[in-house]
Amino acid sequence: MSANVIGVDMGGTKILSAVIGPEGNILGTAKVPTKADRGPSVVIDRIADSIRKAIDKSGVAPTSIEAVGIGAPGPLDPATGVVIFAPNLRWKDVRLKDELEARVGFPTFVDNDVNVGTLGEHVFGAGQGFQNVVGIFVGTGIGGGIILQGELFHGASKTAGEIGHIIVKAGGPRCGCGTRGCLEAIASRTAMTKQFRKAIKKGQKSVLSELTGGDLTAIRSGVLAKAIRLNDKLTLKVIKKTTKYLGVGIGSIVNFLNPEMIVLGGGVVEALDDTFLDDIRAAAEKYALPNTLSGVQIVPAKLGDNAGILGAAALARQRIFND
Amino acid sequence: MSANVIGVDMGGTKILSAVIGPEGNILGTAKVPTKADRGPSVVIDRIADSIRKAIDKSGVAPTSIEAVGIGAPGPLDPATGVVIFAPNLRWKDVRLKDELEARVGFPTFVDNDVNVGTLGEHVFGAGQGFQNVVGIFVGTGIGGGIILQGELFHGASKTAGEIGHIIVKAGGPRCGCGTRGCLEAIASRTAMTKQFRKAIKKGQKSVLSELTGGDLTAIRSGVLAKAIRLNDKLTLKVIKKTTKYLGVGIGSIVNFLNPEMIVLGGGVVEALDDTFLDDIRAAAEKYALPNTLSGVQIVPAKLGDNAGILGAAALARQRIFND
């Protein structure tokens, strides 16, 4: 199977398409704005355009392309390729697979963007050679994916891997999902921002006020990293709480599923340095059963922004041979 | 494959062996005391005896027996059949598989007792026809097992399914495992007993004092059931808390793994009536993501005390054809 595939990372603001060779080599890419406000049909046209551009740039023959894989936001049905609901695109029940196949002529496979990122890390990144891998991505929210026996595990409602909604502290902070105490409600960047705003409003001094020009609503991961380097007391305190609860969540996962590997990625993890990961590991050690964590590797994601296109390519490759 | 297998349920006080036919029909059983105080070698002799007795009683020809399956306590290695540590038997690194094979001559397969119970429910009980099943057994502690794609999932450290040690309330009550806030520390019978003792010590009246003859250390599940029927305020309060936290744990499992089915069993679940299960389901509904629980069945275990022997038989049957 030396053929090439297309990997598409479809986000709310941009679409990144790439031609990927059999070894995960990126042969050509094209990036276009999503323009979600123009409606699904235009967005799918733009995906098709970006695929054609990526093929052009790669110089490979279109006949060498076997399939297209797409990581898309929102709950979706990986079997039918229908995006059920994607608030940031304002999509509802969009037949992404069928519509794109009609435009590009290649068999197309769709999966959730976080699942695809996890698959990318499994096939081409940190999780290579491991059969049972859990991916955890900490950013605005906390997403995740589960690889079992080398393949994405979707679960009964196709929603498996919602690691951000493991309840780590019943009765804790209110979560966007409507309940309380979810991991995402305590340890995502959004949750951290809430803690910063609350403390600063109460009069606590922090270099964050300065670094954000007073606009605490938009604390990016890079700003967090800077505040840590400046030894900002408030930032360190909030980060400590974050690592603790990520450790609680990971401890639960280790006790329950006991995967071979947990890959940690996402904006927050990437922006912060190794001590962040060390602290998470130490916290997980406290919550995992004795002797269980020794068998489970906790490692940083390797692919960064390429996890999406590489994972989508891996998806296309797996599905074309299995479906 | 019309051959018979032996299923052995090995507990701290008794060993139950059975000849099980291809359809899960129990053809003959034998029960003997474990006599763990006499050491592993004697116990394994006793297992061999109970197997011979069960074959005698069944009337089947010993040549019709294909294999032996055993559910044993403690962390163990299902590949080698070595029981690593079983405190209630005072066993450490006991080569159960090899030792029993030497005595009975049948290929023998060993797995953790709770895993075996879950497998029993999957193959012959509530989970028939479902490929991804989580078993949760609430008794003195809270144990569990995970069936993925129709087979037991063991995980990297062979400890997968430790549902009692999902952390549902970080910083909560101290658990026997050394950490805090595990499901088992809040919702097992042991945890309930602690709550009863504390409340009664503080002067709260409860029919439990009478039902246990004042010995609150030994509140059995049957006593709980009676106290509920008598509308005992303290019991109802503690049970309410228990159902809530079982719902939190199940919510986390549904959000994370999204299995097709959760089977609830164990002494506490069996002793209490349907409203207990209904209350757990209602609590899980609160903690699971919207629309995810609709795809996940939460059902009571069906096999009761036979889950062990039937699960062990299923284990023997699966392993002899796969290993």
Tell me, which fold does domain B129-301 have in CATH?
Nucleotidyltransferase; domain 5 (3.30.420)
Q: In the predicted model, is pLDDT for residue B291 greater than 90? A: no
B293 closest CA partner among B257, B266, B264, B242 = B257
Same fold? A4-121+305-322, A130-301 = yes
Kindly state whether A61 is in contact with chain B, defined as any CB-CB distance less than 8 angstroms.
Answer: no
Region at A142 (left for phi over 0; alpha for psi -120 to 50; beta for the rest)? beta
Contact A129/B at CB under 8 A: no
Q: Per the CB < 8 Å rule, is A166 touching B248? A: no
Contacts of B263 (CB under 8 A, 6+ apart): B118, B121, B122, B125, B126, B127, B133, B134, B135, B136, B299, B300, B301
Task: Say if residues A220 and A240 touch (Cβ distance below 8 Å).
Answer: no
What ipTM was assigned to the predicted interfaces of this complex? Answer: 0.94
Query: Does B5 have pLDDT greater than 70?
Result: yes
Q: How many angstroms separate the Cα of A266 from the Cα of each of A110, A305, B176?
A: 21, 9, 34
Distance CA B236, CA B270 (A): 17
Report in angstroms the alpha-carbon separations of B9 from B22, B133, B305: 18, 21, 9
pLDDT tens for the 323 residues of chain A, in order: 468 999 999 999 999 999 999 999 999 999 999 999 999 999 999 999 999 999 999 999 999 999 999 999 988 999 999 999 898 899 999 999 999 999 999 999 999 999 999 999 999 999 999 999 999 999 999 999 999 999 999 999 999 999 999 999 999 999 999 999 999 999 999 999 999 999 999 999 999 999 999 888 878 889 999 999 999 999 999 999 999 999 999 999 999 999 999 999 999 999 898 899 999 999 999 999 987 888 899 999 999 999 999 999 999 999 998 76
The string of pLDDT tens digits covering residues B128-182 is 999 999 999 999 999 999 999 999 999 999 999 999 999 999 999 999 999 999 9
Q: Judge whether B129 is closer than 8 Å to chain A, CB to CB.
A: no
Number of C-beta neighbours around residue A12 at 10 A: 12
Beta pairing class for B297-300 and B261-265: parallel
Is B257 in CB contact (< 8 Å) with chain A?
yes
Residue A181: list chain B partners with CB under 8 A: 169, 248
Q: Which of residues 217-236 of B touch A (CB under 8 A)?
A: none
**What is the average pLDDT score of chain B?**
95
| Contact: B166, A256; criterion CB under 8 Å | yes
From the number of C-beta atoms within 10 Å of its C-beta (0-12, 13-18, 19+), residue A258 rates as buried
Nearest to A170 among B155, B162, B248 (CB): B248
Contacts of B179 in chain A (CB under 8 A): 251, 286-287
- Scanning B264-303 for CB atoms below 8 A from A yields 286-287, 289-296
Contact A176, B315 (CB under 8 A): no
For residues B252 and A166, what is the distance between their CA atoms, to the nearest angstrom?
4
For every residue of A234-255, DSSP letters joined together read HHHHHHHHHHHHHHHHHHHHHH
Q: What is the reported pLDDT for B1? A: 47
Question: What are B225-240's pLDDT values in tens digits?
Answer: 999 999 999 999 999 9
**Residues B302-306, mean pLDDT to the nearest whole number:** 95
User: What is the CB-side half-sphere exposure of residue A225 using CA atoms within 13 A?
Assistant: 11
Query: Is A252 in Cβ contact with B162 (below 8 Å)?
Result: no
Question: What pLDDT was estimated at residue B2?
Answer: 65
Shortest Cα–Cα distance, A246 to chain B (Å): 11
Selection from A10, A6, A1 nearest residue A19 by Cα = A6
Best residue in A148, A157, A299 for a mutation probing chain B (most B CBs within 10 Å):
A157
For residue B261, what is the nearest residue in chain A, using CA coordinates? A156
Specify the CATH superfamily of domain A130-301.
ATPase, nucleotide binding domain (3.30.420.40)
The answer to whether A96 and A110 are in contact (CB under 8 A) is yes
CA distances from A207 to A148, A196, A202, A230, A247 (A): 43, 11, 15, 8, 27
Task: Give the gap in angstroms from C-alpha A267 to the nearest C-alpha of chain B.
Answer: 21
What are the structure tokens assigned to A78, written together? 């990986």
Any A CB within 8 A of B251 CB: yes
- Residue given tokens 């995402």 in the structure block: A184
For chain B, percent of residues with pLDDT exceeding 70? 99
Give the model's pLDDT for residue A323. Answer: 66
Q: Which residue from A166, A244, A260 is facing B256, i.e. has the nearest CB?
A: A166
Pair B223, B207: CB distance under 8 Å? no
Q: For tokens 């051959």, name the residue.
A: B3
SS3 call for B33: strand
SS3 string of B85-133? EECCCCEEEEEHHHHHHHHHCCCEEEEEHHHHHHHHHHHHCCCCCCCCE
Query: Domain spans of chain A?
Result: 4-121+305-322, 130-301
Which candidate from B244, B258, B261 shows the least CB-CB separation from A160?
B258
Kindly state the tokens that stand for A92. Answer: 């509802």
Distance CA B136, CA B264 (A): 5
Domain B4-121+305-322 CATH (choose: 3.30.43.10, 3.30.420.40, 1.10.10.10, 3.40.50.300)? 3.30.420.40
